[in-house]
Amino acid sequence: MMRQGNIRWRPSRRAILLLGLTALTTAVAADARQFGDWGRAFNAESLPTSSNQLNTSSNDGCPILDPYDKSLYMASNRPGGHGGLDIWIAPWTGNGWGTPVNAGPEINTAADEFCPDPVRGNRLFFVRRSSSTNTDIYVAKHLPQRGFQTPERLPTGDNSINSPAEEWSPSWFEADGHEYLYFSSTREGRQRIYYSVDFGPAQLAPGGVNSSAADARPNVRRDGLEIVWDSTRFGTLGGTDIWTATRSTVDQPWGTAVHLENGINSSAGESRASLSWDGSRLMFGTTRPGEGSADIWTATR
């Protein structure tokens, strides 16, 4: 069992058994579920009970839903933050999201914080910028009565998760008693998609997720069998577009990349898509005309 500071990198034996059973159950359920096509994409603020402050004249993006209560985590440089991009949280209101609240000084600093990933086990993975050419992935515990605890940087060094380049968009899931972390990195000169098992060495993700173009900001469904990401590969409508791929087991390469349709992609730029815990909702950021330089949109299936 590895520890770094107060963060346990591997769960206890009991947690492994429980998580393994949960993963097996959910994987079977996910395999049995027949997902339909994505419906028409729309501005998340247009939901009946969404706040009119969900999207602002600022840069609002990196959306992802909390697996427990469906609250919306996002990155924004709106007024009232600690500097640059901050992580904000908007509560689920039953059919939309309320006014976003800043995640606070334990998570946000004068630097940029973005690409949040709240996961089961009350942890929050996110990205923090340390220089114009370097960003790293951090994790923080979120205790119900005490809030966010001091974040800790994930492993650094040769072939580690964090490198001297830019790491973006952590995406965590558990399968077969192991913890998987997907992310993208510029360590090879452009954004490419990598993964780590049990916070060990970074490995280039095999299959259709990587191309000769920039492939960035992955998000993997909780069973590890579906992924969404943004790419500048051939076939985009303009800027970055959102793509998806599937596989039948977590040990297999990803299948052929599929370009998402039905208004999810546009001639503007779409980025940092994420899947809800049950796989039925897609969140993403877009620069298409709206309230600000980037807004949060959604689609369901």
pTM for the complete prediction?
0.89
> What percent of the chain has a predicted confidence (pLDDT) above 90?
86
pLDDT digits (tens, 9 = 90+) for 99-136: 999 999 999 999 999 999 999 999 999 999 999 999 99
Which value, to the nearest 10 degrees, does the dihedral of the CA atoms of residues 137, 172, 65, 139 take?
-30
DSSP 232: -
* Contact predicate 204/220, CB 8 Å: no
Q: Which residues of the chain have pLDDT under 50?
A: 1-32
**What is the pLDDT at residue 208?**
98
**What is the pLDDT at residue 33?**
59
Closest by alpha carbon to 66, among 37, 103, 30, 34? 103
Among the CATH numbers 3.30.1330, 2.30.29, 2.60.40, 2.115.10, which is that of 3-300?
Answer: 2.115.10
